[in-house]
Amino acid sequence: MTRFSPSSSSSSSSSSSSSLSLLSACLLGLALALAGAGCSTDADPELDIGPDAGEPEPEPEPEPEPEPEPQVQPSNADAIGGLEATGLVIAPPAGTFDTSLQCTTSSALGRCTPVSVPGAVDLCVCRMDELTIGNVEVTGSRGLVLLAYKRVVVTGHLSVSARGADDGPGAYLHYVEPHATNRGGAAGGSFGSRGGNASSNPAGTEALVPLVGGSQGQATCTARGGGAGGALQITAGEELFVTGVISAAGSGGRGGSSTCLGGAGGGSGGAVLLEAPKVQVVGVVAANGGGGGGGGSTRSGAGYNGAPGRLSALPAQGGEGKDGDGCLAGGYTAGGDGGSGSSATGAATNGHAGDSESGCFGSTIYLGDGGGGGGAGRIRVNTTSGCQCGGTFSPATSMGDLVVR
């Protein structure tokens, strides 16, 4: 018969009794917890079976969207629209850009579109991100608008000036009738200031809204008036630097002939509008008037043409009259010089009167009067931080606040 040791039997019985007691305690604790009696959380801080247990965590508040960065609002935005990112970095070759023929979406000046502006002049609006422009002469009938999303640098000569009797792009005003008399000098064009020889009143606005160019000089019965300076707007979203030359000059009036003696008027300067948060000009911005044409002589022929508006603060000179005819006994004709164009150093002047001489050749020699000089154009700079304008402006620029929205 197998015998069991008393010690083994006692140990087994004691172990079973302990296990049952522990299990009973745990079941009792769990029941109390479920009944809300609660167990101390000091022994087990992670145990929390309360009324909020099992509820989902609240979702985090969405982060506010960042506010859009302020953007430059170009002048004349109602007509031309705003700045747009295009991805285009433009550096056009030297040459000519015709706003009538080359205003296309794949032009040398970027993505260009023609815009019609009722009551003003048509425009060619070109967009790009960055533009570095050297020697470019702008022609055609439309004024030119350059809208750069970031920056523009003018290193060469960007011209919207008149060429001879041909207006610059975007010229605005023309005389309907030539000068009424054979010997009288015609009037200079008026825009930012009045031209010579009793010209019309100035035109346009100081802010260049709307954007229009200058006024052609008055013609005579045979001599054409000087062409008007054109219209240019450059708006950059970040910065605009001019280390070269921007011109919108009028040209000189033609000299009178031997049959139609009076000289023609000089054309006025045009319009240049520059705007960016940062504008720096160390070069030249000029919109000067052209000189009036000199009077012609019935004996010696045509007077001399007036000079075009200069790329400096100095005035364009009027053409010389064809004087000096006559003889020692009877005297010589004098006068007939054209008036000077307007610039930063002064207003346009009237043409000089011509005279006559009748004691030399059995007939009277007549000399026509000179044409009036062209008035100055308009230059405007809009910025947020002030213009670093150590360069030359002629005429003097007006300053405005750049609109940023």
Distance CA 195, CA 191 (A): 8
Q: Which domain holds residue 176?
A: 70-400
- CA separation (Å) from 391 to 132, 279, 286, 387, 394? 19, 12, 11, 11, 10
Q: Do residues 134 and 156 touch, judged by C-beta distance below 8 A?
A: yes
Residues 314-327: b if buried by 16+ CB within 10 A, e if exposed: bbbbbbbbbbebbe
- CA separation (Å) from 81 to 5, 78, 210, 213? 107, 6, 13, 20
Residue found by looking up tokens 């809300």 in the block: 36
Residue 299 lies in a domain: yes
Residue 336 lies in a domain: yes
Residue 31 lies in a domain: no
CA angle 319, 297, 252 (to 5 degrees): 20
Residue 34 lies in a domain: no
Give tens-digit pLDDT for 269-306. 999 999 999 999 999 999 999 999 999 999 999 999 99
Residue 106 lies in a domain: yes
Residue 147 lies in a domain: yes
Number of domains comprising the chain: 1
Residue 23 lies in a domain: no
Distance CA 347, CA 9 (A): 131
Residue 58 lies in a domain: no
pLDDT tens for the chain, residues 1 to 405: 343 344 444 444 444 444 445 445 555 555 555 555 444 444 454 445 455 556 667 777 777 666 567 799 999 999 999 999 999 999 988 999 999 999 999 999 999 999 999 999 999 999 999 999 999 999 999 999 999 999 999 999 999 999 999 999 999 988 888 898 899 999 999 999 999 998 789 999 999 999 999 999 999 999 999 999 999 999 999 999 999 999 999 999 999 999 999 999 999 999 999 999 999 999 999 999 999 999 999 999 999 999 999 999 999 999 999 999 999 988 999 999 999 999 999 999 999 999 999 889 888 999 999 999 999 999 999 999 889 999 999 999 999 999 998
Reduced to 3 states, what is the DSSP secondary structure of residue 387? strand
